[in-house]
Amino acid sequence: MRNYIIYKLLHALGVAFVISIVSFILLFYTADPASMLLPETADAADIAAFEKDLGLDQPLVVQYGNWLARIVFEGDFGNSWVAKIPASDLIGVALWPTLQLALIAQIIATAVAIPLGVLSAVKRYSIIDNITTFIVLVGQAMPLFWLGIMLMIVFGVFLKWLPTSGSDTWVHLILPSITLASFTLPLNMRLVRSGMLEVLSKDYVRTARAKGVTRSAVLMKHAFRNAAIPLVTVTGMQFGALLGGAVVTETVFSWPGLGRLAVESIQVGDFPVVQGVVLTLSGFTILANLAADIGAAWIDPRIRFN
Amino acid sequence: MNNMSSESKLEETHLDYKPSMTSIVLKRMWQLRMGVFGFVLVLVLGLSAIFASQVATHDPLEQDILARLTPPSFLEGGGSTYFLGTDQLGRDLYSRIIYGARISLTIGLSAVLVSMVIGVLLGLAAGYFGGKIDAVVDFLVNAMLAFPFILLAMTLVIALGASMENIIIALGLSNWPIFARVTRIETMKLREQEFVLAAVSQGLSHVRIILKHILSNLAAPLLVIATVEIARAIIRETFLSFLGLGIQAPTPSWGLMLAEGRDYMLTIWWLSTLPGFAIFLAALGINLVGDALRDLFDPHMRKG
C-alpha cells in the first residue's frame, strides 16, 4: 500500500508539472500585458522598459522558472491587472463558495444516485427502473446552463419560491446546487445500477442467499460494497468535470466562486487571475483523483498489486 | 425442461423480485422505440441543417422591428406570421432555430473529427508500440483530464480569436484524451489477440497490421463514443456562445440566442426556453442513437 501511494503521489506531481507548463505557455502567448496596463500614449521605449520591469525580456525558461518558484514557495500568482491586488487574494475569496457548491452538489447527486441505482437494479424492469433510465437520458441531454435558467424561471420567476441569484443565505444555494448535481447524477446512477446488476448475478451473492443471509444484509454487505468501487473511482475522477460544471453554474446564477471569477477575468483579459484559477482548479482535480485512486485501493486490495 | 426453466429464472431474477414477462417485453419494445425516436430526431436535425433555406419561413437575420417580441402562435397575443414568435430585434425565432441547427451540427461533427483524429493516432501508437510511447501518451492523457476542460477551451478561443473555425479547433484540441484513452486500451487488448499475433509472425508491416487488423476492429467502439461526444460538443459550443466566446451576433447560434433571451427571462420566458429546448432535443436524439448503436454492436453491453 505504501509503495502504491508513493507511486501515485509522484504521478500526481508529474501531472501538476505538465499542467503548469501548459497553462504558462498558453497564457504567455495569449496575454499582452503592455496593451492592458500601459496608457495608449506609451511609445516603444516605454513598452520595452515596462517589459524589462516585468521580466518579459528574459528567456522563456527563466520566466517560467521564476513564475513557478513564486507560486510554489510564496503562493504568489502575480497581481491582477484589473483589480491591482494579488490574484491569490481574489482566488482565496472565491475558493470557498466553489468548494461549497461542488461538495453539496456531489452530496445531492450521490444521495439520489445510490438509492435509485440500487432499487432499479434490484427491481429490474419496474417503474423505478424506468424512472431511473428516464432521468439518465434527460440528464445527459440537458445543457447545464439551460437547466439553471429553466429552474430560475419556474421557481424564481413564476412560483417566486427561491431566489435566482446572490449568495447570502443557504436558500441561495438550493437552485445552483441542484443544477450542478444534475451534471454528475446521470453517470453516477448508471454506474450504481450496472455495478449492482453485475454483482447481484455473482455466485457469492447466490451462496449468501442460499446460506440464509437476509436479503438486506446481502444487498448491503455483499453486493453494494463491491458495486461501490467504480462509484468511488468515478466520483474522484469526475471532480474535475464537476468543477468545470461549477464554472457554468456559477456564471448562470452569479455565484461568487472561482468559475465566475475565471469567466470574468477571461473576458477582460486579466490573465494572472485566469492562470491562478486554472492552476487552483487543476490542483483540486489532481488531489481528488489521487484520493479516488487511494480510496479504491483501500476498498479493493486487488488494485494495489496491479 | 422443468429444471431449465427454474435455472433461467435464477439467472434473470435477482433476490426475490420476479419481473413479469410482459414487463420485459414492454421494456425491450420501449428501448427499440427510443432508438427509433432518436433516429427521427437526428434525421429532423440533419434535414433542417441541410435544407435550412427551404425549411425556414423567414430570413434569420431579417428584422421586423414593429413585430418585435411577438409571442408564439400557441400563446395569447401570438400572430400567425411568426410560428414561434420573434426576438428582441423582431427576427423570426423559428427560422433562427432552424439555421442554428446548421451551426450546431457543423461544429459538433467537425470538433469531434478533430479530437478523434488526434486521439486515435496517439492511442494507436501508445497501445500498439507500448513502452515509452505508451508511458508518454498515458501521462499526457491524465494531465489533460485534470485540466478544467471549459477553461481550456475558453482560453484557446481567446488565444485564437472567436470564430467558427477556432471554436472547432478549441473544442477539438481539448477533447482528444477520451478518444486516446479508449483507442489505447482497445488496441492493447487487440494486440494480444491471436489474429494480430499471426499477422505479426507473418511479417506484415506495422502500418498494414494497424490499418487492416486493428483499426477495423476499433470502428464500432469509436463510432459509439463519437456519437455521444457530438452531443457533448454541441452543448459545449452553445455554452461558449452563451458566454460571448463563441459564435458572434447576429449569426443564429442556439447558445447565443439563449444568452440574448436571458435578459428578458423575467417576462418573456419563451425566448430562452425555445432555443434551449432545441439543444436538448438535438442532444437527446444523438444520445439515443448512440445507445442504439452500442446495443447493436455489442449485445453484452446492453443496459436493460
Q: Which residues of chain B lie closer than 8 angstroms to A221, CB-CB?
A: none
The overall average pLDDT reported for chain B is 82
| List of chain A residues with pLDDT < 50 | none
Chain B residue closest in CA terms to A247: B150
DSSP bridge pairs for B92: B86
Share of chain B above pLDDT 90, in %: 21
Mean pLDDT of all residues in B19-39: 75
pLDDT above 60: residue B303:
no
pLDDT given at position B285: 93
Is A15 in contact with B158 (Cβ distance < 8 A)?
no
- pLDDT tens-digit readout, B66-100: 777 777 777 776 677 777 777 777 788 888 899 99
The pLDDT tens digits for A172-191 are 888 899 999 998 888 888 88
Put simply, whether B74 touches A (Cβ < 8 Å) is no
- Mutation target among B29, B42, B147 for the A interface, most CBs of A within 10 A: B147
Long-range (24+ apart) CB contacts under 8 A made by A124-129 are A124/A197, A124/B14, A124/B17, A124/B19, A124/B304, A125/B19, A125/B23, A125/B24, A125/B26, A125/B27, A125/B304, A126/B17, A126/B19, A126/B23, A129/B27, A129/B304
Please state the ipTM of this predicted complex.
0.79
Q: How far is B300 from chain A (nearest CA, A)?
A: 12
Q: Report pLDDT for B118.
A: 95
**Residue B77 forms contact with A (CB below 8 Å):** no
Calculate mean pLDDT across residues B142-153: 81
Question: Hey, is the C-beta of B46 within 8 angstroms of any chain A C-beta?
Answer: no
Give yes or no for B15 touching A (CB within 8 A): yes
Give per-residue pLDDT as tens, B40-51: 999 999 998 898
pLDDT digits (tens, 9 = 90+) for B229-239: 999 999 988 88
- B43 has a chain A CB within 8 A of its CB: no
Can you tell me the mean pLDDT for B157-182?
88
Task: Search chain A and give the residue with CA nearest B241.
Answer: A145
Cis ω before B250 (30° cut-off from 0): yes
* B233 vs A: CB within 8 A: no
Q: B residues 111-140 near A, CB within 8 Å?
A: 139-140
Confidence of residue B2 (pLDDT cuts 50, 70, 90): very low
A207 to chain B: closest CA residue? B15
Phi, psi torsion values for B92, nearest 5 degrees: -70, 120
Per-residue three-class SS string for chain B: CHHHHHHHHHHHCECCECCCHHHHHHHHHHHHHHHHHHHHHHHHHHHHHHCHHHHCCCCCCCCCHHHCCCCCCCCCCCCCCCCCCECCCCCEHHHHHHHHHHHHHHHHHHHHHHHHHHHHHHHHHHHHHCHHHHHHHHHHHHHHHHCCHHHHHHHHHHHHCCCHHHHHHHHHHHCHHHHHHHHHHHHHHHHCCHHHHHHHHCCCCHHHHHHHHHHHHHHHHHHHHHHHHHHHHHHHHHHHHHCCCCCCCCCCCHHHHHHHHHCCCCCCCHHHHHHHHHHHHHHHHHHHHHHHHHHHHCHHHCCC
